[in-house]
C-alpha cells in the first residue's frame, strides 16, 4: 500500500484522488448515494476514478466553455513548451490551475447530483436507461480526453522536430 501511495504524483493526488474523495463524501453526507468499497485500497481506487471523471469533465467540458466565454485564454502551445523548459515554475502553476478547474467541475457535478431529482422529473427514464446514458457519457468523455491528449503529444513531437505543423 505504501509503495502504491509513493507512486502517486502530486497531480494525481490533487486533481484526481482528493476531488474524488470529496465528491464521494458529498454524496454520502447529503444522503444522495453511498459509494464505498470494502477496503481502503478499494476506496482509493473509487476515489481516484471518480476524481478522474470529474477532472475530465473540467478538461473537456468546463475548459472549452470558459474559453468560449472569454474567462480564460491560452497562448500557443509551442510557446508553452519553450517557456516551461526554461521556467519549471510554469508546470507548478499549470498544476494549480488544473486543480482549480477540477474543483470548479466538482462543485458543478455536486450541484447536478444534489438536484438530480429535478432532472429525473424532467426526463423520466428508467434506471437502466440512466445507467446506459451514464456509461455512454463516460465513454465519450474519455474518448475526447484521449483525442485531446494525443493532440498534445503530436504538438510536442512536432515542436521538438522543429516544425509545429508536422503531422505523420
CA 74 to chain centre: 18
**What would the pLDDT profile of 142-165 be if each residue is shown by its tens digit?**
999 999 999 999 998 988 887 555
Q: Is 70 left (phi over 0), alpha (psi -120 to 50) or beta?
A: left
Cα–Cα distance between 78 and 82 in angstroms, integer?
6
**What would the pLDDT profile of 61-94 be if each residue is shown by its tens digit?**
999 999 999 999 999 998 999 999 999 999 999 9
Q: According to the model, what pLDDT value does residue 111 have?
A: 95
Give the H or E element holding residue 13: none
Percent of the chain's residues with pLDDT above 90: 68
40, 1 Cβ separation under 8 angstroms: yes
**pTM greater than the 0.75 cutoff:** yes
- Angle, helices 127-161/40-57, rounded to nearest 10 degrees: 70
Mean pLDDT, to the nearest integer, of 113-133?
91
Amino acid at each position: 500500500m505504501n509503495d502504491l501511495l509513493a507512486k502517486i504524483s502530486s497531480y494525481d493526488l490533487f486533481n484526481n484522488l482528493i476531488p474524488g474523495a470529496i465528491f464521494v463524501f458529498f454524496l454520502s453526507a447529503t444522503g444522495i448515494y453511498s459509494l464505498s468499497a470494502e477496503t481502503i485500497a478499494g476506496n482509493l481506487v473509487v476515489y481516484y476514478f471518480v476524481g478522474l471523471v470529474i477532472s475530465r469533465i473540467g478538461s473537456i467540458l468546463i475548459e472549452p466553455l470558459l474559453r468560449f466565454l472569454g474567462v480564460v485564454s491560452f497562448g500557443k502551445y509551442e510557446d508553452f513548451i519553450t517557456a516551461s523548459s526554461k521556467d519549471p515554475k510554469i508546470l507548478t502553476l499549470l498544476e494549480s490551475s488544473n486543480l482549480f478547474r477540477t474543483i470548479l467541475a466538482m462543485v458543478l457535478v455536486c450541484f447536478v447530483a444534489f438536484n438530480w431529482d429535478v432532472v429525473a422529473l424532467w426526463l423520466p427514464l428508467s434506471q437502466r436507461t440512466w445507467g446506459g446514458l451514464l456509461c455512454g457519457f463516460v465513454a465519450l468523455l474519455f474518448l475526447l480526453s484521449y483525442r485531446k491528449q494525443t493532440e498534445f503529444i503530436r504538438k510536442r513531437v512536432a515542436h521538438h522536430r522543429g516544425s509545429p505543423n508536422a503531422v505523420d
